[in-house]
Amino acid sequence: MLKYAIRRILYMFPILLGITLVTFLLFNVAGGDPAVQMAGKYATEAEIEAIRKDLGTSGPLYVQFGNYIKQIVTFDFGRSWATKQEVTRMIFGEEFRTSPMLVSVSLTFPAFFITLVLAISIGLLLTFYRGGVLDKSIMVVCLGAISISSLVYILFLQYYLGYKLGLFPISGISYDWVDKWNYLALPIIIFVALSLGSNVLFFRTIFLDEVFQDYVRTARAKGLSNKVVMFRHVLRNALIPIITLVVIQIPFLITGTLLIESFFSLPGLGGLIYNAINNADFPVIKAMTFISAVLYMFFQLLSDILYAVVDPKVQLK
């Protein structure tokens, strides 16, 4: 397993190089000259060249790409074109308590694990009562829930629970550890509402696949109760798809939820990415692209290792 992990880590370097190259070409070649776009249509060549020097895009492309690689290696992504702040500080904050990453994690991790616990519990319940009225009713509700646009959830719940009833703040954040959750409660509720339906259907399908396996019939033939079969056998053997869902989604949880953070004016990474895209802020975008790629590959490796831990039949080669 150690040899496999080392080999996978070594494979990451050429993949990261390819990702950085594609990102660089998309913004510096396909996207046009950023200095021309920022200068406006009536700018002189001297003004455009001055902007290029300020942005660090005045040299040849290979020199600019070399500087980009140097920034990645030193973890110094320069300054934002829009705000002139250091990109590293914009991502991680002046101090950890106020960092955008902590804001995003404080929103997404509790919401995701609440969703996970509810979805697994409901999925097991529907599998236990499969084909019945409860199963069919919840299936209809889940299908209806995933058919509704995420904007509808955000706007309706923000207006009704936040503005109309005044139960929660509808924008901003507090950096006090206790007061923070008053601001994050409604975004967490919306996150759960958005993702619960699809997760319930996903886990129900997984559990139903396991219920009809031979080992389940053998366990029942031994006289084990349905409750023991569901929790000790079905749930345990469904761990691989559960691990896949959980581990692969963690990188996206760290980088935040773009829509929810934007609508609630939360200073997290999702809002940071949204503003960077709107302002064509390439230093922020390339930093977040690189961090997202590293996180995704690391947790994909972690999921493969966990497969071998939970299932001895899985061999890593």
Same domain, 125 and 262: yes
Q: What is the pTM of this model?
A: 0.81
Of 106-120, 214-228, 303-317, the poorest mean pLDDT is in 303-317
For residues 62 and 163, state if they share a domain. Answer: no
- Last-in-domain residue among 66, 92, 118: 92
Mean pLDDT to the nearest integer, 238-266: 83
Considering the domain architecture, whether residues 77 and 108 belong to the same structural domain is answered as: no
174 falls within a domain: yes
| Domain assignment of residue 14, yes or no | yes
129 and 181 share one domain: yes
Q: Does residue 178 lie within any of the structural domains?
A: yes
Q: Are residues 213 and 200 in the same domain?
A: yes
* Tens digits of residue pLDDT in 157-211: 999 988 888 889 888 888 888 888 999 999 999 999 999 999 999 998 888 888 8
Radius of gyration (C-alpha) of the chain in whole angstroms: 24
Cα gap 101→93, rounded to integer Å: 8
Q: Which residues pair with 86 in a beta bridge?
A: 79
Q: Is residue 315 part of a domain?
A: no
Among 31-40, 103-112, 179-188, 287-296, whose mean pLDDT is lowest? Answer: 31-40
In a domain, 209, yes or no: yes
Range of the domain at 211: 96-310
pLDDT bin (cut points 50, 70, 90) of residue 257 is confident
CA distance 116 to 104: 18
- Please check whether residue 129 lies inside any domain of the structure: yes
CATH number at residue 244: 1.10.3720.10
Q: Which residues, in sequence order, are CB contacts of 231 under 8 Å at separation 6+?
A: 124
Burial class, 300, CB count within 10 angstroms (exposed 0-12 / middle 13-18 / buried 19+): middle
List, for residues 91-115, the tens digit of each pLDDT value. 887 777 788 888 889 999 999 999 9
- Number of residues that this document lists for the chain: 317
* CB proximity list for 58: less than 8 A, separation 6 or greater: 49, 52
Last residue of a domain, one of 76, 92, 108: 92
Choose the final residue of a domain: 57, 75, 92: 92
Is residue 34 scored above 60 in pLDDT?
yes
- Let me know whether 84 and 100 are in one domain: no
Residue partners of 273: CB distance under 8 A and separation at least 6: 255, 256, 258, 284, 285, 288
List phi, psi (to 5°) of 171.
Answer: -160, 160
* Residues forming a β-bridge with 79: 86
The answer to the question of residue 284 being in a domain is yes
